[in-house]
Structure 1
Amino acid sequence: MSTAEVRAAAPDGVIHDIGYRRYAGPRLGRRHIVAALYVHALRTSFGLGRSAKAKIFPWLIVGIVTVVAAVLIAIRARLGQVVLSYAQFADSLSWLVIFFVAVVAPELVSRDLRSGVLPLYFSRPLARSDYALAKFAALATAVWLLLGGPQVLMFIGAAFSTGKGMHGAWDEFTDLVPGLLYAGIWALVFAAISLLVAALTGKRAIAAGAVVAVFLMTTPVVGVLSVLPSQTANQLAGLASPSSLIAGVGAWLFRGVLSANNRQLLPIGDFGPVYGAVALILVVGCVALLLLRYRKVAAR
């Protein structure tokens, strides 16, 4: 039988209407896609919408900082003594922030690199920069909430235990604001560095180890520079590590609240503006490199 005879004998194709309807609702566009990606990444930072296993570590960290805040509230209510000011809270728990970003940053970006879903993201009206900036904003928000949430809890406890009414609550609020701003600096610096490091590999274990190494292995450098027989080198030693860099910015901007309770500040001399400029350059530089990284990833 010839090909023409086979085609003639075959039944004609039929299109059946099984009831599907075309989407006729509003198309929200790029801005709403970025907002949805930001919310999704923020929820992922705390394991929301994920398995119970994914919730263990972030909520363990949240539990620890909350317990510390509760203990500080109890001590103040019982003894009337302020152990840590709001701004000092972030400095005292910086090591927890390191481990938090070491786990969360790979979860936000390394998983997508590993599974190869980025072409799906960029097939929609979502720019490569939108993806990177949404992830950065989500991680910075998560770190800020991690540090700022307990401070707000401390404020609520202190406002009701001052015995000075609204005047005492206002004084507490004026102390809280610098603490929240200082937590914002921690969030921006830590999110920028950790997200850039995590975006370099699709393996989450390697990314987590690299993030921890960047923060912890630079600390001994600060110790070495701080004992040199040069006062200038001692005052600039804090620039060698992200944690001490932020402490130097805090000593410059929030000297009053950070030096409460006779706590020692990082000796920065008159180099406060230098610390501020380096912190700004570090954040901007890391974000710029992150955008460059995703421009290359998307081009593959």
Structure 2
Amino acid sequence: MSDATGVIHDIGYQRYTGPRLGRRQVFGALYLHGVRTVFGLGRSAKAKIFPWLVVSVVTVVAAGVTAVRSQIGEVVMTYAQFADAMSWLVIFFAAVAAPELVSRDLRSGVLPLYFSRPLPRGDYALSKLLALVTALWLLLGGPQLVMFLGAAFTTNRGVRGVWDELLDLLPGLLYAGLWAVVFASIALLVASLTGKRAFAAGGIVAVFLMTTPVVGVLSILPSQTINQLAFVASPPTLVGGVGNWALGDRLTQGRGGMPIGDFGPVYAVAAVLLVAGCVALLLLRYRKVAAR
């Protein structure tokens, strides 16, 4: 009987001796990948068509507004009003971007792979949310910067005019951030419920569009209080109500704005609760997904 012998073959595998990155780097990588995904960067030409078409449209509108202002010497549209005017386009952008961020991962079944690493369950959801917020804010904030540069270079009041223009731009950027946070929170929550991108996109658009008639019904009821609170019922009008209260003439240009009465703080609280509720439900959703 011969003794059994084993042979170890060296097939070239080597141990990894480089740095082992931690939670912060994992979160940052997911966030950066999410922003690139929204704009189709690093993906096929087909994936770039819709996001960059939308970017082109909002940029052309901003350039047109700037050109008209330089010709007539009057403000045609404030920075905050630009965000309002582009809000419906942002809805459709979010309806396409959110499913790309989360529905694809659900459908392809890669979440167990993500969660097999030392990645907290909430970090995945929050990185995707932050990526979508950033993308929507850039979508509105980039054209606002174009409007600012056009106004700054054509002002006839020198440094004082540029400074005044900057003071108008900053609230506009904050208002764009509010649009981005509210829209991204709702869109990503809806998209996380299904792995089918078409269903997710349709669900996102439906959430925004189906709440609009509710505002119309409430605003014609024979109660002034209900009329003034009616705009809470739909996310776009809710954000508009917060803008009316917080920005005043920067948004309305003395044209009255939305009839919200003295309920501005109520609109602000409602917006905070809406975002907080969506984020909480999003985290709960991924806690259940990871537990499967």
Task: Provide the TM-score with structure 1 as the length reference.
Answer: 0.95
SS of the residue corresponding to residue 160 of structure 1 reads: helix
What is the aligned counterpart of 1:51 among 32, 44, 51? 44
2:281 maps to which residue?
289
Q: Percent identity?
A: 71
Does the alignment pair 1:70 with 2:49?
Answer: no
Deviates more, 1:79-88 or 1:56-65: 79-88
When Rg is computed on C-alpha atoms for both structures, the one with the higher figure is 1
User: How far does residue 166 in structure 1 lie from its aligned partner after superposition?
Assistant: 1.2
Does the alignment pair 1:82 with 2:75?
Answer: yes
Inter-partner Cα distance in structure 2 for 1:13 and 1:99: 63
Inter-partner Cα distance in structure 1 for 2:63 and 2:9: 65
Inter-partner Cα distance in structure 2 for 1:298 and 1:144: 29
1:159-212 alpha-carbon deviations (Å, 9 max, x no partner): 000122211110000000000000010011000001000000110000000000
1:112-127 matched pairs, under 5 angstroms: 112-127=105-120
2:138 maps to which residue?
145
1:164 maps to which residue?
157
1:3-28 alpha-carbon deviations (Å, 9 max, x no partner): xx7xx59x844222233321111111
Output the amino acid matched with 1:54. A
Inter-partner Cα distance in structure 2 for 1:266 and 1:60: 31
Inter-partner Cα distance in structure 1 for 2:263 and 2:208: 22
What is the aligned counterpart of 1:27 among 20, 43, 48? 20
Deviates more, 1:12-21 or 1:64-73: 12-21
Inter-partner Cα distance in structure 2 for 1:126 and 1:166: 49
Does the alignment pair 1:274 with 2:266?
Answer: yes
1:107-130 alpha-carbon deviations (Å, 9 max, x no partner): 100000000000111111111100
2:222 maps to which residue?
229
Q: Which structure 1 residue ranges, 4+ long, deviate > 4 Å from structure 2? A: none
Inter-partner Cα distance in structure 1 for 2:255 and 2:46: 39
User: How far does residue 263 in structure 1 lie from its aligned partner after superposition?
Assistant: 3.8
Output the amino acid matched with 1:24. T
User: How far does residue 244 in structure 1 lie from its aligned partner after superposition?
Assistant: 0.2
Task: Provide the TM-score with structure 2 as the length reference.
Answer: 0.97
Does the alignment pair 1:41 with 2:34?
Answer: yes
Inter-partner Cα distance in structure 2 for 1:180 and 1:215: 22
1:72-131 alpha-carbon deviations (Å, 9 max, x no partner): 111011121211100110101111010000000011000000000001111111111000
Inter-partner Cα distance in structure 1 for 2:219 and 2:149: 39
Inter-partner Cα distance in structure 1 for 2:255 and 2:16: 62
2:239 maps to which residue?
246
Structure 1 gap segments, 5+ residues each:
none
1:208-267 alpha-carbon deviations (Å, 9 max, x no partner): 00000000110011111111111101100001100000000001101120021x444111
TM-align CA RMSD: 1.2
SS of the residue corresponding to residue 20 of structure 2 reads: coil
2:128 maps to which residue?
135
Aligned length: 292
Inter-partner Cα distance in structure 2 for 1:22 and 1:75: 63
1:186 maps to which residue?
179
Inter-partner Cα distance in structure 1 for 2:42 and 2:99: 17
Structure 2 gap segments, 5+ residues each:
none
2:102 maps to which residue?
109
